[in-house]
Amino acid sequence: MSEFLSGIYGAPPTHLVDAPNGARQLSPLHPGADDLGAATPGAYSNIVMLAPAGTLERRYVLGQALAALSPGGTLTVIAPNDRGGARLGKELAAFGCVVDETSRSHHRICTVRRPQYLTGVDEALAAGAPRLVEATGLWSQPGIFSWDRIDPGSALLASRLPQLKGCGADYGCGIGYLARSVLTSNAVKRLDLVDIDRRAVEAARRNVADARAHLHWADATGGDLALANLDFVVMNPPFHDAGAEDKGLGQAFIRQAAKALRTGGVCWLVANRHLPYEAALSGAFGPVRLDHEADGFKIYEARA
């Protein structure tokens, strides 16, 4: 089966499962990864996956993986017991797979061979696919942050933003909700939208129909964006990584925003009230002002 490909989805714990040599990354949360949904059916001989926690998203990517495998190809899936692992075996069996299931270190590990005939995959793919969400009027997809509702922090920030002008960026743009608000100002010349989730970038491309918008599938905490001399940055930084709270994510967003702004440029940030971003803001910026605090959120205006 040397002509077939090997794949890895996400970052399965290496002490629990072995990644195939030369495996192609397939997760939409890894910029530059291959698109599992675009894989030629039967192209992969084996895939190792850290399963997403959300049911719709998990069944969607399991279906994609099984469709991408050659008949008899191997899929190894791992998930914490409390983040979908307890349901993995039943979900795979419902697709027509014979499941070899083990449990180690509070994780379930399921290994299957792709059967000749799959059942229920089309339904899983339809349930997890991109769609226009009626409640928001925006395109989204299960697995994207706050996929079926407007995040209240972003809504609060949008309500407080002044009419911005010049060239700016939206770090962690999601499906483009904040960007749509920013672009109501005719004085904005260009807006770079950055998100680590390919699905969010694809949704934002549909939601932000404006020639001034330029989208980037990239990690906003990295240093390779080549954004500089900006007049403004807006952001609602994430503070979870693989389900665990990580205050360092927002602090990294703050540092990168400060680097990208021109002297006198402004950063507008919304954060949950409990997050300790004050020191990071004071260390990276000049004047920092608490603009508003309500409903468990705080909004800061910080000048470079």
Q: Say whether both 93 and 239 belong to one domain.
A: no
Q: Say whether both 138 and 119 belong to one domain.
A: no
Q: Say whether both 101 and 239 belong to one domain.
A: no
Q: Say whether both 77 and 202 belong to one domain.
A: no
Q: pTM above 0.85? A: yes
Q: Say whether both 74 and 113 belong to one domain.
A: yes
Q: Check if the beta carbon of residue 56 is closer than 8 Å to that of residue 65.
A: no
Q: What does the DSSP 8-state code read for residue 118?
A: -
Domain of residue 244: give its range.
131-303
Q: Say whether both 208 and 176 belong to one domain.
A: yes
**By C-alpha distance, which of 151, 180, 179, 186 is closest to 165?**
186
Lowest-confidence segment of 242-246, 259-263, 278-282, 289-293 by average pLDDT: 242-246
- Which CATH number is 27's domain given? 3.40.50.150
Residue 211, C-beta contacts closer than 8 angstroms, at least 6 positions apart: none
Number of domains in the chain: 2
Residue 2 clears pLDDT 60, i.e. is over it: no
Question: What is the tens place of the pLDDT at every residue in 177-196?
Answer: 999 999 999 999 999 999 99
Half-sphere exposure of 253 toward its Cβ, with a 13 Å CA cutoff?
A: 27
Of 86, 108, 127, the residue at which a domain comes to its end is 127
Q: Say whether both 29 and 65 belong to one domain.
A: yes
Measure the CA–CA gap between 246 and 42, rounded to whole angstroms: 38
Q: Say whether both 152 and 269 belong to one domain.
A: yes
Lowest-confidence segment of 70-74, 144-148, 239-243 by average pLDDT: 239-243
Of 93, 127, 161, the residue at which a domain comes to its end is 127
pLDDT at residue 245, as a whole number: 61
Of 127, 142, 159, the residue at which a domain comes to its end is 127
Residue 42, C-beta contacts closer than 8 angstroms, at least 6 positions apart: 68, 69, 70, 71, 73
